[in-house]
Amino acid sequence: MTVATERKIRREDLYPSRVHDVPALQEREDPVVYGAEHDGPLRADHLRRYEQFGYLVFERMFSADDVAQLSRELEDLRSNPEMADRPEAITEPDSGETRSIFAVHRLDHPLSRLCTEQRVVEIARQLLGGDVYIHQSRVNYKRGFRGKEFYWHSDFETWHVEDGMPRLRAVSCSISLTDNTPYNGPLLLIPGSHKTFVSCVGATPDRHYEKSLKRQEYGVPDDDSLTRLAERGGIEAALGPAGSVTFFECNTMHGSSSNITPFPRSNCFVVFNHVDNALVDPFCGLAPRPGHIATRPPVEPIV
């Protein structure tokens, strides 16, 4: 008997996953857009599109000069030998190269200011309807030639089960520092998938996160559910030149293919969560993941 099938579903668990032996699709219980047009910079048509598709792409929100500066800072951070040994750094299994660095917003480094960039935070506040905090931040570097794929997943599924995020009231923001073309492993999304929660099968082993950040094994949606979502919504990519910004709802099913092109991809990824949706005990019943992966209460809104 696995951990998952043993555990009782808590009364406040509106999105149970890794509990049952068969996958299930469930309509979301929460709004998609919490704010209104007058609450921030997004126009009514932006809000409608986000409501319908679960994501928005803004081309060139950052200038070429901004991108050049941010890229230098990213390289400075990645090449810092002290960084590579910290738990915040995730390395490529084969080469040992640093692929991601978590909790950038807590670093004493110029790049950390990007996480609280006003233009971005204002959009997050509008979508989520008020005060937000940073649930997670990281920079990602996906190398060329041998950039690995990332299989389909809903971020919320993991944040709910492993971190204890109660409701669907978070938005991810990806600030691209390189061009996203169709063929260098861009973010793929299933439009409209944010409206359906896919309950995954299987248990969550203890200290799972140490491996899962390199390779996914749990919280993986099943083939039939993905087929249904993709037949309904299709598959789109978040494309655009460096400096483009993608906002996607925390339950939008996404992934990326491998990158065999010579062109690497890097981005800064920030997740905003509404302060009323701060983490509770993880719904899998295990110990929570460390604070650099998921900010735990008490939380302070970004001012």
CB closer to a copy of itself out of 112 and 140: 140
Which member of 45, 85, 96, 262 binds a copy of itself (CB under 8 A)? 262
Looking up tokens 């971005």 gives 120
Q: What is the DSSP track for 23-88?
A: -EEEE-SS-S--S-GGGSS--HHHHHHHHHHSEEEETTSS-HHHHHHHHHHHHHHHT-HHHHTSTT
CA 291 to chain centre: 16
The count of residues interacting with a copy of itself (CB under 8 A) is 26
Lay out the site mask for a copy of itself across 178-207 (x = CB under 8 A, - = otherwise).
---xxx-x--x-------------------
How far, CA to CA in Å, does 27 sit from each of 145, 192, 195, 223?
39, 11, 6, 18
Using the rule CB under 8 A, is 257 a contact of a copy of itself? yes
The DSSP 8-state label assigned to residue 178 in this structure reads S
CB of 185 to a copy of itself, least distance (A): 7
Which member of 126, 196, 259, 277 binds a copy of itself (CB under 8 A)? 259
Phi, psi of 249 (to 5 degrees): -65, 145
Which member of 226, 238, 284, 293 binds a copy of itself (CB under 8 A)? 226
Q: What is the DSSP track for 235-279?
A: -EE--BSTT-EEEEETT--EEE--B-SS--EEEEEEEEEEGGG--
Using the rule CB under 8 A, is 227 a contact of a copy of itself? yes
Using the rule CB under 8 A, is 263 a contact of a copy of itself? yes
CB of 276 to a copy of itself, least distance (A): 34
Using the rule CB under 8 A, is 235 a contact of a copy of itself? yes
Which parts of 109-168 interact with a copy of itself (CB under 8 A)? 144-145, 149, 151-152
The DSSP 8-state label assigned to residue 160 in this structure reads I
CB of 186 to a copy of itself, least distance (A): 9
Interface contacts to a copy of itself, rule CB under 8 A: 144-145, 149, 151-152, 181-183, 185, 188, 223, 226-227, 230-231, 235, 237, 255-263
